[in-house]
A and B are shown apart, each in its own frame.
Chain A
Amino acid sequence: MADERQQRLQGLTDFLRTIQKPGKAIESVGLDESLVACGLIDSLAIIEIVMFLEKNYGIDFAATGLDPDRLATINGILGVIEEVRA
């Protein structure tokens, strides 16, 4: 279970690196820190995160509804994935 979460975290971190703003180390961002407020990504990046989750985890936000605040932190995104997997 912990391994699975670690793998998801790694996958998510790798993805966030591809859309993040330059000059900010993703490792310095706390798991519960707002990704937008800390300057890692801009608010537009939420749609990239949505598409990432749809593609990699088959999440259908049209059915589950999208709460942007839940995608604001790394732990929040992992929570959304875990909810769907459960």
Chain B
Amino acid sequence: MQIKQLTQFHENPAIIAWWCARLGWALRHLTPFRRRAILAAGAVWICFKSTVRIVIDNSADLAGPADGIVAGLLVALALVGIAWLLYRAAAGFSSLPSWVRKHPQLSLHSIYWGFLALLWITLPGSGLWRQVLAGVALIFPILVWRFAYLLLSGQHGRMAGTRFSDHLLTLWPIYGGSNTPYGSGFGYLSRSEAKTEAELARSQLAGIKLLLLCGLWMVVREIMEGTLYGPGNELTHKLGGYTLAVPKLGSLVAGEEGGSPLWISWLAIYCELIHEVLRHAIRGHAIIAVLRLFGFNVFRNTYKPLLAESVVEFWNRYYYYFKEILANFFFLPTFTQLGKKLRNWPTLRLGAAVFAAAFVGNTYYHLINLEMMMVKGQILEALYLHRSRMFYCFLLAFGIFVSMLRQQRRGGRALASGAADRILRIAGVWTFFSLIFIWNVRSGASFTARANFFFGLFGVA
């Protein structure tokens, strides 16, 4: 059997037929309706469980007359109510006021900022309503991009035949996720949903493949952490304690490692890139695998980014569903809105759209992720806290813009296909992202310390 046949086993008709024969009864029983119902029931559980947990964890900042559990339950009910109202708005999208129809995403974010404004102008301890509102505002950033996809489905006329419970499964996904909705919204999921036994079998086999890959990358990460970063890794002990003891980039930029040789610093930045890719791949594969087991045969979150030959290709493959947020809610709206004004300046138009997404959108996404600071009105402090990340977003936007321009100007012409050319291009992409990650890595290092570390890599102290 060839390697490709082995790795693409989920596409093999004989294996699909075998899977159908073995699990035919289960596949028949698990109709799309039942699969969705299982996920929707899980969503209700997650909604109440996670909301109560978040409210209890933040009870010191969410002071009010109700105790943690009661307040958590009320916040969960309020969030389900908001979700239902947004579902109704999406279902009746054409009857919404014209400004809302034209700017559904701005309207959605206005609701969030309206909640915040109300919190800022009232005193803590103003009553139960404020306690619940603070809880809603605290959790809203986790849901806002999911709500955004719900409205987008309405805008694109894709709500017909969908029930509230269908959308619920993406709002509080039992299959996991972060503030980024893996698998986007239900509109996207439903287009990849298996309708027949064979499609379900194929999707499940694709899910099993991702689970295997997830396991493989976990082992690779363990080996990497043991041999490169060590000590304290079980595998390192089994290998006789041998480790290169490369410092983590976060502690290097913070100057916690003393003076490291230059080659160690360079190694550390490349290791950080690989480690980040592995982290995203492991998490994303596990989540997408569950979706595929439930018959939603959607794209992976991470697809061989380390083999990307351009910055824009890497960005497309590294964290697909985050890129989709930036593309759907920042890039494309900006690009189309500027159609009339900048029709004769296509480069400027492209640049504005890229910066709206990779710089403004990326910064905004991470800013509202500082949920408690938002609730407390510490906007300037949050921006200051994110100053290094903002610079990273700027560099990222610049890199993507240049990469897109190069790709555009190349037209359909092929790149040089020699192995050496390819390796050089891949190395260029690795180096770009490794270098800009200096301003993205989690660390207590100041912006200046990161800049000093960057210049130090080139021998400029």
Interface residues, chain A, CB within 8 Å of chain B? 17-23, 42-44, 47-48, 50-51, 54-55, 60-62, 65-70
B404 an interface residue at 8 Å Cβ cutoff? yes
- How does the 8 Å CB contact mask read for B318-330 relative to A, with 1 for contact and 0 for none? 0000000001100
B304 an interface residue at 8 Å Cβ cutoff? no
B408 neighbours in A (Cβ, 8 Å): 44, 48
Least CB distance, A84 to chain B, in whole angstroms: 14
In-complex Cβ contact of B156 among A17, A50, A67 (8 A)? A67
A42 neighbours in B (Cβ, 8 Å): 313, 407
B336 lies within 8 A of A50 (CB)? yes
Highest count of chain A CB atoms <10 Å: which of B155, B191, B339, B346: B339
B339 lies within 8 A of A19 (CB)? no
A66 lies within 8 A of B316 (CB)? no
- How does the 8 Å CB contact mask read for B328-362 relative to A, with 1 for contact and 0 for none? 10001101110110010010001001000000000
A51 neighbours in B (Cβ, 8 Å): 346
| Sample of 9 more A-B contacts, CB < 8 Å, known A48-B408, A62-B337, A70-B156 | A18-B411, A19-B411, A20-B412, A21-B412, A44-B312, A47-B350, A62-B336, A65-B156, A68-B332
B414 lies within 8 A of A47 (CB)? no
A18 neighbours in B (Cβ, 8 Å): 411-412
A61 lies within 8 A of B412 (CB)? no
B404 lies within 8 A of A44 (CB)? yes
Least CB distance, B11 to chain A, in whole angstroms: 14
B327 neighbours in A (Cβ, 8 Å): 68
Could you jot down 17 A-B contacts, CB within 8 Å? A18-B411, A23-B414, A42-B313, A48-B408, A50-B335, A50-B339, A54-B339, A55-B343, A61-B336, A61-B339, A62-B337, A62-B340, A65-B155, A65-B156, A66-B333, A67-B155, A70-B156
CA of A22 to CA of B316, assembled, Å:
20
- Known A21-B412, A51-B346, A69-B191; judge A43-B316 contact (CB<8 A): yes
B407 neighbours in A (Cβ, 8 Å): 42, 44
B413 an interface residue at 8 Å Cβ cutoff? yes
CA of A54 to CA of B336, assembled, Å:
10
Chain B: CB-nearest residue to A21 = B412
CA of A34 to CA of B316, assembled, Å:
17
CA of A43 to CA of B333, assembled, Å:
16
A67 neighbours in B (Cβ, 8 Å): 155-156
In-complex Cβ contact of B412 among A19, A50, A68 (8 A)? A19
A69 lies within 8 A of B336 (CB)? no
Least CB distance, A32 to chain B, in whole angstroms: 13
Least CB distance, B317 to chain A, in whole angstroms: 10
B413 neighbours in A (Cβ, 8 Å): 22
A20 neighbours in B (Cβ, 8 Å): 412
B353 neighbours in A (Cβ, 8 Å): 47
Least CB distance, A22 to chain B, in whole angstroms: 4
A62 neighbours in B (Cβ, 8 Å): 336-337, 339-340
B333 neighbours in A (Cβ, 8 Å): 66
A69 neighbours in B (Cβ, 8 Å): 156, 191
Least CB distance, B44 to chain A, in whole angstroms: 29
Highest count of chain B CB atoms <10 Å: which of A44, A51, A55, A67: A44
Chain A: CB-nearest residue to B188 = A69
Closest 10 CB pairs of A and B: A61-B336, A22-B414, A67-B156, A62-B337, A66-B336, A62-B336, A20-B412, A62-B339, A66-B332, A54-B339
CA of A47 to CA of B346, assembled, Å:
10
B343 neighbours in A (Cβ, 8 Å): 54-55
B156 neighbours in A (Cβ, 8 Å): 65, 67, 69-70
A17 neighbours in B (Cβ, 8 Å): 412
B312 neighbours in A (Cβ, 8 Å): 44
Least CB distance, A69 to chain B, in whole angstroms: 7
Highest count of chain B CB atoms <10 Å: which of A48, A61, A65: A65
CA of A42 to CA of B404, assembled, Å:
11
Least CB distance, A76 to chain B, in whole angstroms: 12
A43 neighbours in B (Cβ, 8 Å): 316
Highest count of chain B CB atoms <10 Å: which of A18, A23, A61, A66: A66
Chain B: CB-nearest residue to A20 = B412
CA of A53 to CA of B346, assembled, Å:
14
CA of A66 to CA of B353, assembled, Å:
14
CA of A56 to CA of B383, assembled, Å:
43
A61 neighbours in B (Cβ, 8 Å): 336, 339
A55 neighbours in B (Cβ, 8 Å): 343
B340 neighbours in A (Cβ, 8 Å): 60, 62
B404 neighbours in A (Cβ, 8 Å): 44
